[in-house]
């Protein structure tokens, strides 16, 4: 086993080495395994070392407790909001980590048995194999608190069918394990009670051969289809409304559809959109739309700029107000600046998208093979068509 501190329960990341297998456990269960500065640094260190280690062939990643990872440590950002450039290093490290996951040379398996949101989802979706269960919950809720869809998901979400990615980014809607399988955001569905046995079998396999790993996972996996009330069966309405050019048009169109009998599910979603940060929604929609036409490195560089500018409160402090209302005071009554969509200054939105000086940009290679390249087209998902 890998050496570590005397008390392993205090480690935010536990790394184990068993012959040719390397196992990472995100170990902040009481905080739903949120991603802190230490977590990013440790993940980056272990993954880089193992990628260059000929003895390491298979990487397994899981979360302790009832979560895989609930994303970034919001309180960390809130507490550091007045420290100049406190966000820069952790943001840079996180985006390099995202890129590393997409282009990793060794076989990786994510075992996702619980909450998987925001940046935490970047530790699942890009993997060669991502195993989900009936307890898996996925969401990208950043826009609602004044942030933006990040960690490579402006590259991933626009490549889902139609405008489903726009819907997920703006509403923060949740997907379960069955839906993740149908969309290709996960590769295998394994009942949660079988997950420990699968983990043990993968460790005993002691190999990173992709075909062998796939065969082992398939021994435990089951075929699943989205439930009857799944959002995936609402594609035509989502496409009709979320193809609009502006957030205002999307909400208006979606609200109109919600008044039609049988579309009652829309009403609480529209209410949620109206409660969300106006500037967060505006930035997110533009970022998702740009991501449709960009490469992974281009998306990551843009997301990095947005992250730094938002955390620096370049045009608004909404992200800190959103975190305050959600996790600090927990009053769930944020006071947005500006308070309405029509008061959002388009020139200010433009400002957070402007490139930095070259030396401050995210420095990642422009071309390197990743799991999502060329595999998914916007309107052609065989797995989803099978559910129609």
Q: Please tell me the predicted confidence (pLDDT) of residue 76.
A: 85
Q: Mean pLDDT of all residues in the chain?
A: 91
Known catalytic residues are 72, 119, 142, 150
CATH number at residue 339: 3.90.226.10
Q: What percentage of the chain has pLDDT greater than the value 70?
A: 90
Q: What percentage of the chain has pLDDT greater than the value 90?
A: 85
Please indicate, yes or no, if residue 372 is contained in any of the structural domains: no
Mind listing the pLDDT tens digit for each residue in 25-44? Answer: 999 999 999 999 899 999 99
CA distance 210 to 213: 5
Q: What is the mean pLDDT of residues 134-152?
A: 97
Question: Which among 204, 34, 198 is positioned nearest to 116, based on CA atoms?
Answer: 34
How far does the chain reach from its first CA to its final CA, in angstroms?
Answer: 47
Q: Reply yes or no on whether the pLDDT at 275 is more than 90.
A: yes
Q: Please tell me the predicted confidence (pLDDT) of residue 39.
A: 94
**For the chain, what is the domain count?**
1
Q: What is the mean pLDDT of residues 247-260?
A: 98
Please indicate, yes or no, if residue 101 is contained in any of the structural domains: yes
Tell me phi and psi for residue 166, to 5 degrees.
-60, -40
Give the HSE-up count for residue 241: Cα atoms under 13 Å, Cβ half-sphere: 24
Q: Please tell me the predicted confidence (pLDDT) of residue 86.
A: 60
Helices (H), 129-190: 153-156, 164-171, 177-183
Please indicate, yes or no, if residue 104 is contained in any of the structural domains: yes
Q: Please tell me the predicted confidence (pLDDT) of residue 387.
A: 32
Please indicate, yes or no, if residue 377 is contained in any of the structural domains: no
Please indicate, yes or no, if residue 385 is contained in any of the structural domains: no
Q: Please tell me the predicted confidence (pLDDT) of residue 38.
A: 92
pLDDT band at 384 (very low <50, low <70, confident <90, very high): very low
Q: Reply yes or no on whether the pLDDT at 380 is more than 50.
A: no
Q: Reply yes or no on whether the pLDDT at 9 is more than 60.
A: no
Q: Please tell me the predicted confidence (pLDDT) of residue 255.
A: 98
**Bridge pairing between strands 175-176 and 137-139:** antiparallel
Asked if 37 and 53 touch (Cβ cutoff 8 Å), the reply is no
Please indicate, yes or no, if residue 326 is contained in any of the structural domains: yes
Q: What is the mean pLDDT of residues 319-340?
A: 96
- Domain range holding 176? 8-364
Q: Please report, for residues 21, 288, 325, the alpha-carbon distance to residue 385 in angstroms, rounded to integers and kept in the order given.
A: 36, 24, 40
CB count in 10 Å sphere of residue 205: 18
Please indicate, yes or no, if residue 371 is contained in any of the structural domains: no
Question: Which among 29, 1, 5, 28 is positioned nearest to 15, based on CA atoms?
Answer: 1
Q: Reply yes or no on whether the pLDDT at 376 is more than 80.
A: no
pLDDT band at 373 (very low <50, low <70, confident <90, very high): low
**Bridge pairing between strands 107-112 and 129-132:** parallel
Please indicate, yes or no, if residue 99 is contained in any of the structural domains: yes
pLDDT band at 383 (very low <50, low <70, confident <90, very high): very low
């Amino acid at each position: 086993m890998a050496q570590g501190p005397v008390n392993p329960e205090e480690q935010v990341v536990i790394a184990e080495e068993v012959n040719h297998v390397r196992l990472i456990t995100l170990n902040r269960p009481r905080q739903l395994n949120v991603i802190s500065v230490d977590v990013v640094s440790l993940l980056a260190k272990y993954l880089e070392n193992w990628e260059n280690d000929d003895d390491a062939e298979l990487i397994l990643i899981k979360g302790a407790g009832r979560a895989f990872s609930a994303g970034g440590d919001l309180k960390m950002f809130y507490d550091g909001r007045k420290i100049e450039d406190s966000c820069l290093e952790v943001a840079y490290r996180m985006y390099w980590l995202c890129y590393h996951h997409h282009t990793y040379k060794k076989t990786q398996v994510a075992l996702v048995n619980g909450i998987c949101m925001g940046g935490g989802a970047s530790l699942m979706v890009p993997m060669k194999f991502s195993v989900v269960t009936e307890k898996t919950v996925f969401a990208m809720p950043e826009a609602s608190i004044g942030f933006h869809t990040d960690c490579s998901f402006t590259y991933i979400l626009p490549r889902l069918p139609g405008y489903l990615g726009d819907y997920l980014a703006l509403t923060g809607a949740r997907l379960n394990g069955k839906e993740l399988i149908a969309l290709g955001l996960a590769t295998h569905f394994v009942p949660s009670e079988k997950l420990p046995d699968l983990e043990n079998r993968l460790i005993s396999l002691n190999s990173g051969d992709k075909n062998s790993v796939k065969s082992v996972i398939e021994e435990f996996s089951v075929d699943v289809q989205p439930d009857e009330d799944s959002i995936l069966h609402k594609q035509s309405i989502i496409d009709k409304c979320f193809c609009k050019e502006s957030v205002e048009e999307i909400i208006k169109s979606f609200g109109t559809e919600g008044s039609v009998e049988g579309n009652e599910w829309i009403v609480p979603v529209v209410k949620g959109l109206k409660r969300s940060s106006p500037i967060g929604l505006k930035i997110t929609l533009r970022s998702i739309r740009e991501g449709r036409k960009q490469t992974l490195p281009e998306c990551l560089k843009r997301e990095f700029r947005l992250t730094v500018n938002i955390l620096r409160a370049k045009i608004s402090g909404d992200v800190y107000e959103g975190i305050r209302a959600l996790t600090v005071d927990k009053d769930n009554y944020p006071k947005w600046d500006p308070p309405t969509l029509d008061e959002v200054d388009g020139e200010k939105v433009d400002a957070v998208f402007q490139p930095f000086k070259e030396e401050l940009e995210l420095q990642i290679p422009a071309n390197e093979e990743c799991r999502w390249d060329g595999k998914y087209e916007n309107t052609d998902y065989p797995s989803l068509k099978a559910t129609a």
